[in-house]
Structure 1
Amino acid sequence: MNASKLLVAGVAFSMSAVAFAGGTHGSGHGTAIGEPGKVDDVSRTIQVEMQDNYFEPESIEVVRGETVRFVIENKGKLVHEFNIGTPDMHEGHQKEMMMMVEHGVIQGGKLNESMMSMDMGNGKTMNHDDPNSVLLEPGQTKEIVWTFSTKTNMEFACNVPGHYEAGMYGDVNFNSSADSQARAHH
């Protein structure tokens, strides 16, 4: 086997291991943090601005069972990510994002879209297409509709290498009194 085939095979194997360990890219997010929401169930919209290494707002408050539409705009000069997950999920996902930088997918303020769909073996790609996450170039706006069906320790974060470490994450706080009121009405 030549060196380039070995490299692709090694990258594919490591991506698969990271994907399953981190619960991201292709392994399907699910009940651990909630699930993709239906537009018809949206109770409110939260506008999120991404600047270079912080989010506005810095935290959000939700009610268990609530479906929220996030409208996320990158107002920074670099590529940024908005990803809903647990701290462990973010830790695993950061390894995948490092691979995206190492392979030229993320190039400072630009995404190399053709590299994102490159076959890494076993049907794996570097597409950033999970329902709980968006990756945006400067000036882009995208949406996520998410149902917070599980009350767990979670946050939203940018996992582009160095951004989380620089403080680009925020808490998802559950409003307990609203939870009990919502259950009483159902």
Structure 2
Amino acid sequence: MFLRKSVMLAACVWALSPLAWASGTHSYDFGQPAPAAKATRSVEVVMGDMSFTPKTIDVKAGETVRFVLVNKGQLLHEFNLGDAAMHARHQQEMLQMQQSGMLTPTGVKEMDHGDMAGMDHSAMGHEMKSGMKHDDPNSVLVEPGKTAELTWTFSKAANLEFACNIPGHYQAGMVGKLTVSQ
């Protein structure tokens, strides 16, 4: 019981953190989200179970790319743009989401006040205003058999990765190299 309450408390604290809620305030030194209409090209990325095809993507600084993400696997997968340090931090967030029951092997469950029953939110100095969400602009979750999109304008040269940060997926090889050149 203690472990369950500790996990739920950690999930609640994370859900109330600025990183979890302020998606509009996220900034990335390698670029920003863009509307699909601004894309100069599209790249299809097929997600298998523990794989991406292609494994490498090359783009140019200033280019806006529309990523079409096709999940042909049997599991929920994520497409997340960032460097290795960003992925390591995001993997911890995704682990908390999984431990809270929000992430299942094949889908996402939005958390609400009812899912956090029995917790004393007032002791944390705030109220839960809405559910825990996966809403980072550099990331999208794709359920099995589904297709999603992410459009991004790359602002400067960088060595990045695209990765699935669902617990264990990155470590199993679900990561690719994204090179942004001048």
TM-score tier, shorter chain, comes to 0.7 to 0.9
Aligned to 1:69: 66
Three-state SS of the structure 1 residue aligned to 2:28 is coil
After superposition, residues 7-26 of structure 1 pair within 5 angstroms as: 8-14=8-14, 20=19, 26=22
2:102 is the alignment partner of 1:96 = no
Aligned to 1:154: 160
**Alignment partner of 2:54 out of 49, 54, 57:** 57
After superposition, residues 37-186 of structure 1 pair within 5 angstroms as: 37-112=34-109, 114-115=110-111, 123=129, 125-175=131-181, 179=182
- State the distance in 1 between where 2:74 and 2:179 align: 29
Deviation at 1:29, TM superposition (A): 3.4
- Contact 2:158–2:179, Cα closer than 8 Å, also in 1: no
Q: Normalized against structure 1, the TM-score is what? A: 0.77
- Contact 2:77–2:141, Cα closer than 8 Å, also in 1: yes
1:174–1:6 distance in 2 versus 1, CA, 3 Å: closer
Overall identity of the aligned pairs, in %:
41
- Contact 2:163–2:175, Cα closer than 8 Å, also in 1: yes
Q: Normalized against structure 2, the TM-score is what? A: 0.79
Three-state SS of the structure 1 residue aligned to 2:156 is coil
The CA RMSD over aligned residues, in Å, is: 2.9
- State the distance in 2 between where 1:116 and 1:75 align: 30
- State the distance in 2 between where 1:58 and 1:80 align: 15
Unaligned 5+ residue runs, structure 2? 122-126
1:56–1:174 distance in 2 versus 1, CA, 3 Å: same
